[in-house]
Amino acid sequence: MSPSCCKGKQVHPTKTGVAAGLEPGAEYPVESPVSKPGDKDACCDGDNVEPVAQTGSQKLVKLEKMANSCTECIDAPKPEQPCCDESCMVRIAVRECEDSCGSDKTCATASSGCKDLESKDDCCTKAPEAARIKKTPCQSHMQSVKSRFQPTLEGLGCICRALLALNLESCCVTGQNAQRKSRQPGARTYDPCSSSSTSLKSAKDDGCCSMAPPGSCKKPAEPRLSITSCAKICCSEKSKPPAIGTPDDCCSGGSCSKEKANLGATASEIGSDLEQGAINAEHVVLSIQGMTCTGCETKLERSLANIRGVSKIKTSLILSRAEFDVNIAHISVDGAVTRLQKATGFECQRLSTDGHELEVLLPDALETVLQHLPSGVLSIDPTTYATLKITYDPQLIGARDIVESAFDQQLELAPYRPDPSISAGNKHVWQMGLAALISACLTVPVLVLAWAPLPKREITNGSISLALATVVQIFIAGPFYPAALKSLIFARVIEMDLLIVLSTSAAYIFSIVAFAMLVARKPLSTGEFFETSTLLVTLIMLGRFITALARQKAIESISIRSLQQSTTMLVESDGTSTRDIDVRLLQYGDTFRVMPEAKVVTDGTVISGTSEINESMITGESNPVVKSKGSPVVAGSINGPGTLDIRLTRLCGDNTISTIANMVDEAKLSKPKTQELADRVAGYFVPVIVAITIVTFVIWVAVGITIQQRSSSDATVQAVTYAIAVLIISCPCAIGLAVPMVIVIAGGVAAEKGVIFKTADTIEAARNVTHVVFDKTGTLTIGRLNVKESYHVNGLATDVRPILLGLVSGIKHPVSQAITEHLQSLGVSPATVLNVKSLPGKGVLGNWNGSEIRAGNALWTQATPISKVQQFLTTDSTVLCFTINNTLQAIYALQDTLRPEAAHVVSTLQAKGISVSIVSGDETGAVQKTAERLGIPSSNALSRCSPTDKHTYIQMLKTSSTGSTILFLGDGTNDAIALASADIGIHMSEGTDVARSAADVVLTRANLRGVLVLMELSDKALRRIMFNFAWSFVYNLFAILLAAGAFVKFRVPPAFAGVGEIVSVLPVIIIAVGLRWARFSA
């Protein structure tokens, strides 16, 4: 084993204390390993592994080192092993301690208090054997983290996905930014080599391990659901790569392995593995301006795919957006964007997805601002709008502080810019409208000269028409030429622009030839027809303007971000006076006032006042909700008659509106299988039309000469007119928009009804559901348990209630919460309980004064044979048994209430022929009683189910019948495996918690009717998609036949063929938008 790049504390490279079942904080002797040839390098994301001399002596290792060390990299799990352990939760708890206490304090080990640090030793400048202060989490934070993540850890063996769903850094990617967002220079990152596990640094700063060669540490990758893939990706080690270093590196000499640095190495040479995800991948989101049809989107996709180092490409014509990852080992982000603009001709603007930003007008003392970066300001960059973009960490400095005082001068906010997707669309509509208007103004004189009964001045009229047609062809139709050529050359795509170029060019060039023959006094029989090319271009531009306008209005009608207010009333520090401010200037610690009938600007907690709030715009719940002191409120909701003072809990960029909008946009960027089919059809469409055009031309030349007895020139002219009409009247845009237009509107409609789709596939699959599986507690029931009866084996002479309260307090399971509330209402104070662990499907385990204590179901606590327990189990109650050293001490019977809509939802599903099941960790009596009330067969009601049992049952349903689609609905962390294994996983969330789930669908309000809304919306959406496909086929069939002259008495003149895009696309948009007014029985 070779030394790691940073000499850190010596950690056993083959076994961690937690994995071995040891107690955190204790010291254990560990036998020194023997260094073997070929051993892999350890990670340098913190404390690093160093070979221990083969002395055979015992060494003491403190397990607190795991809080900052990279133990998950040191011993990469085998594929069948989980990739996380309790050390991950220790790191999260330490991080939360520092977030609460500040970077200059640390939580005391045994209490929730804080103490000042006297010093902080730098792991990169001190010798590895030097004493260093290591932070350990306080008991309060540790219990909080365990209650949230322990069930997921034990169920999946990995909590990476749960962290990423919360937009937190994955615990398994120490030192790398594993959040799903772009990492820009100056962004906030965790310094892996700092003595603090949450040490902040700027991304532009070189950390001590910033130059460690890719591959030497654990590689960030998208988390997977299966334990096998998670173990392979999150924690796999790579073979030893060549070392790269700089003089600023933590290792003197720059190269950690003492080898010569290879600064010119390629990504493949330094261990980059593109199949497993690029180590140096940077996520990029672009606003694309200039896309008009699905051919443009295809060109965009192919152009991105042709750029080396670009992966995970997502595009959306509707959103005018592209998302992809760039491996900066191959190409810089700016280089990739430049190549994309060159290949497509589109205007690309990068959108920020990392950190918080302010745009300010250029100040007078610009140099002073650029030279001085206050603490918390990460970067300052100029923009294309004559403004400065300031990226900052809102935990360290507030937006208002930046503007008012951070730079020793008052800065001025730039004008508010709306949602980039909306603004890009508006700009495109404006450009299309202006082009159509100019083209129409130039075309009208040409039409007058061609069709009005004016004196015959052929040369003069022809010269004027030529000049006007030339202006139209160069300045209005001109942009189509480079676009078509770039598509053909760079993306190898034959798109709609090529058809426009061919048709308009043919009409324009033929007219020039005819006019030249006229000037030469050898006129053709047909003469010139400049009106054809000009009118064709005008109708095309008019069609694109109308369709772009209709599409833009449809997008705006379902825009979630439009709910965000731009100003609010800030309550000053005196608590009485107020002032109006821009919502961008809100910062943590602020209190804002919401007047009657006004919108709530961001998420917060009421600190004074009482009112009723309408949350229908967010949750779909039409009934007002009473809010008073301590009540949470969400952004976008509308206040009632009262006045509320609200303490801010989330900034506008992170609030519920933004979270829901991001999830809806994510669904719009995904493509269902029907979209893939449409894209394939549209891809063949244009080449087929070109072929049909050639056939049409040949046929009409032959018909003109042989049947109509025309001269060859006349026959050719007639054939050209038919060919032009065929080229331009056909339109693949209707096929390409058939799916995405409906998906976009469906996503907006669903969000208004409290149903958030995360992928478009869900909309497609929901109508085919065959089995619905419900969790019981908190899903079919309200989840607010009440203690109905209790029994203490020894009476209250030996009061065990403080011990029980100490065990269950802090656990988020509904049973634990109900017991906690009950005991607290009786004035019971909790005893100190150590090593509390929540076991999904079983209960809670802990240690009290050296005794093992348990609180859980009767089977796990081995209390089933006791008669009193049996008596409780025969009722419909949830039973909790409390034992000390396996001796029963107390029994509690708890009662829950069915949701009022549960019976209706279950009966409706059964009426549709859908099988309904219950899987619950509750006792058999309670589960069977619930099933009986809802009319669910007892064979479909499973009790005492662990998370693995739920997963097994869902897999059994999948294999029992072919073509089955399983929907699972749950509300807790215990359901993580079931949510992942079902075809459609639905998480029932509450208000501001919409981001916590990794399910396919999130219900923003606790109402089971969301399941019915999901299925009904899926059915209506798929019907509209099928209609759009049918319309596109019928239109193009008859339009091409008309234009090609298949009907003797009817044909479409080439000058009017440009109206085809309006006729084909408008119905598609209208049908999709009609979904907004569809009636839902649910």
What are 237-266's pLDDT values in tens digits? 333 333 333 333 333 333 333 333 333 333
Sequential DSSP letters for 691-737: HHHHHHHHHHHHHHHHTS---HHHHHHHHHHHHHHHHHH--SHHHHH
Structure-token match 């419909």, residue found = 876
Instruction: Please list the alpha-helical segments (H only) found in 222-278.
Output: 227-235
Share the mean pLDDT of the chain.
Answer: 74
| Of 355, 83, 105, 118, residue with least CA distance to 225 | 83
Strands 966-970 and 984-988: parallel
Least confident of 149-153, 841-845, 930-934: 149-153
Q: Can you give the pLDDT at residue 165?
A: 54
User: CB count, 10 Å around CB of 60?
Assistant: 8
Q: What angle do CA 9, 12, 13 make, to 5 degrees?
A: 105
Q: How large is the average pLDDT for residues 99-128?
A: 42
Is residue 772 within 8 Å of 1011, Cβ to Cβ? Answer: yes
Tell me the three-class secondary structure of 185-209, residue by residue. CCCEEECCCCCCCCCEEECCCCCCC
Highest mean pLDDT among 124-128, 379-383, 551-555, 1026-1030: 1026-1030
Q: Which of the 8 DSSP states describes residue 413? A: B
**How far are the Cα atoms of 2, 16, 179, 238, 253 from residue 216, in angstroms, in the given order?**
11, 20, 20, 6, 18
pLDDT digits (tens, 9 = 90+) for 812-823: 788 888 899 999
Is residue 710 within 8 Å of 1055, Cβ to Cβ? Answer: no
pLDDT > 90? residue 682:
no
Q: Can you give the pLDDT at residue 698?
A: 95
Q: Which of the 8 DSSP states describes residue 898? A: B
Our separate counts of H helices and E strands in the chain read: 30, 35
pLDDT digits (tens, 9 = 90+) for 958-971: 888 888 899 999 87
Amino acid at 1058: G
CA 532 to chain centre: 48
41: CB partners within 8 A, 6+ apart = 1, 2, 4, 216, 237, 240
Within a 13 Å sphere around the CA of 218, how many CA atoms are in the beta-carbon half? 34
Grouping H, G, I as helix, E, B as strand and the rest as coil, residue 969 is: strand
| Predicted confidence band of residue 163 (pLDDT cuts 50, 70, 90) | low
Q: What is the greatest pairwise CA distance in the chain?
A: 123
Residues 811 and 771: their CA atoms lie apart, in Å, by: 31
Q: Output the six-digit token pair for 357.
A: 């930003």
% of the chain surpassing 70 pLDDT: 73
Q: Can you give the pLDDT at residue 996?
A: 55
Residues 446 and 467: their CA atoms lie apart, in Å, by: 10
Residues with catalytic function: 775
Q: How many residues appear in the chain?
A: 1082
For the full predicted model, state whether its pTM sits above 0.85. Answer: no
Residues 1063 and 774: their CA atoms lie apart, in Å, by: 47
Q: Can you give the pLDDT at residue 452?
A: 82
pLDDT digits (tens, 9 = 90+) for 890-924: 999 888 888 889 999 999 999 999 999 999 887 78
Strands 915-919 and 941-942: parallel
| Predicted confidence band of residue 1048 (pLDDT cuts 50, 70, 90) | confident
pLDDT > 50? residue 128:
no
Within a 13 Å sphere around the CA of 820, how many CA atoms are in the beta-carbon half? 16
Q: Can you give the pLDDT at residue 209?
A: 38
CA 1054 to chain centre: 46
Grouping H, G, I as helix, E, B as strand and the rest as coil, residue 77 is: coil
Structure-token match 């592209």, residue found = 322
721: CB partners within 8 A, 6+ apart = 532, 1053, 1054
Where is pLDDT greater, at 655 or 697?
Answer: 697
